[in-house]
Amino acid sequence: MTREEEQKVFLDQLVEHRFFIPMDSPGLFARTSKFENLIKGLEEFIVKATGEEEVTYFPPVMPRKILEKSGFMDSMPHLAGLVSCFCGNERSLLELKEQLAKGEDWSAFLSMTDLSHAPAACYPLYPTCTGTLPPGGRLVHLGTTCFRHEPSPDPTRMQSFRMRELVRIDTPDNVLKWRESWFERAIQFLQDLGLNPERVEASDPFFGRGGRVMANNQREQKLKFELVVKVYEAGPSLAVMSLNYHQDHFGKQFEIKTVDGETAHSGCMGFGLERIVLALIQRHGFSPDSWPKQVRELLSH
């Protein structure tokens, strides 16, 4: 089978076995309790594996100025999602209704608000860290629902998805040591679930010709690693976790300082919740009650 055929078969099976309900838009699904119970178990396992019980949950939208300040619109504008609303008067509302009744484009009646969707779980965190960090920096366990405008027939590549992240903000040495300490632990985390991960150098999906230069620089400096697993026989492996080093990018943009007055560096480790669960389904089958005992025990809640 081709990769496209494998994707369709997998999606059809997820629907047939009542994990997903399609929503007539690529990469957007309703999830049943059968799927959500696996997500809940995975989240609890992440807490146990990381030892970070206090979790900060951000809403799925954030102030648009965070998106602008982060540089996301410079590097990945094709993935951004902005919140627009109708802010007109009664006359323009009537015109909007006429356009709707005709089945015509009515987007001209909407205005951009000061909100955007969160493209990554860590973005809303950095403005809360502006100023001087406490001694030893900060380590934050957070989660949110992210959005990226990336419609795809592949059920593992969603437009709306959930992330758990550990974010470390401190001196360069401390951030890099923290990331390095997770290289083997992250692999073991996935192996305990019966997956066979591989750590690979990676880059973000930057836009355009300049984006290719940024991606090459990111790989050369080893700023991003992904843990990937095989889901489809045809095509590349699926990234289910990432370990990233941002250098001083967010420290500069959001004026975050170490106790010594230096610009703070940051790094993060991300868990793609839906992707991990989908990899588990593909690996162990469509009946979670028959999964290996160790996996069932780790995901029990």
Residues 154-183: what's their mean pLDDT? Answer: 97
Q: Is the confidence at residue 236, as pLDDT, over 90?
A: no
Q: Is the confidence at residue 301, as pLDDT, over 80?
A: no
Q: Report DSSP state, residue 257.
A: E
% residues pLDDT > 90 (the chain): 94
Backbone angles phi and psi of 238, in degrees to 5: -100, 130
Given this model, what pLDDT does residue 196 score?
96
**Is residue 238 a contact partner of residue 156, using CB atoms and an 8 Å limit?**
yes
**Is residue 263 a contact partner of residue 251, using CB atoms and an 8 Å limit?**
yes
> Would you kindly state where each structural domain of the chain is located, as residue ranges?
3-81+119-298, 85-116
* Bridge partners for 56 per DSSP: 142
Q: How far apart are CA 205 and CA 219, in angstroms?
A: 12
**Is residue 58 a contact partner of residue 125, using CB atoms and an 8 Å limit?**
yes
**Inter-axis angle of helices 273-284 and 3-16, nearest 10:** 90
What's the mean per-residue pLDDT of the chain? 96
Given this model, what pLDDT does residue 1 score?
86
Q: For 3-81+119-298, CATH number? A: 3.30.930.10
* Of the candidates 76, 252, 65, the residue with the CA atom closest to the CA atom of residue 169: 252
Q: Is the confidence at residue 234, as pLDDT, over 90?
A: no
Q: Is the confidence at residue 272, as pLDDT, over 80?
A: yes
Q: Is the confidence at residue 260, as pLDDT, over 90?
A: yes
Residues 280-294: what's their mean pLDDT? Answer: 97
Q: Is the confidence at residue 150, as pLDDT, over 80?
A: yes
Global pTM value: 0.95
The pLDDT tens digits for 54-74 are 999 999 999 999 999 999 999
Given this model, what pLDDT does residue 241 score?
98
* C-beta atoms surrounding 267 within 10 Å: 26
**Is residue 30 a contact partner of residue 19, using CB atoms and an 8 Å limit?**
no
Rounded to a whole number of angstroms, the CA Rg of the chain reads 21
Which helix (H) or strand (E) segment holds residue 62: the answer is strand 61-63
127: which residues sit within 8 A by CB, 6+ positions away?
63, 66, 254
The pLDDT tens digits for 180-211 are 999 999 999 999 999 999 999 999 999 888 88
The pLDDT tens digits for 102-148 are 999 999 999 999 999 999 999 999 999 999 999 999 999 999 999 99
| CB hemisphere CA count around 225 (13 angstroms) | 18
* C-beta atoms surrounding 291 within 10 Å: 20
Q: How far apart are CA 113 and CA 120, in angstroms?
A: 19
Q: How far apart are CA 186 and CA 45, in angstroms?
A: 12
**Is residue 254 a contact partner of residue 129, using CB atoms and an 8 Å limit?**
yes
* C-beta atoms surrounding 289 within 10 Å: 6
Q: How far apart are CA 2 and CA 78, in angstroms?
A: 27
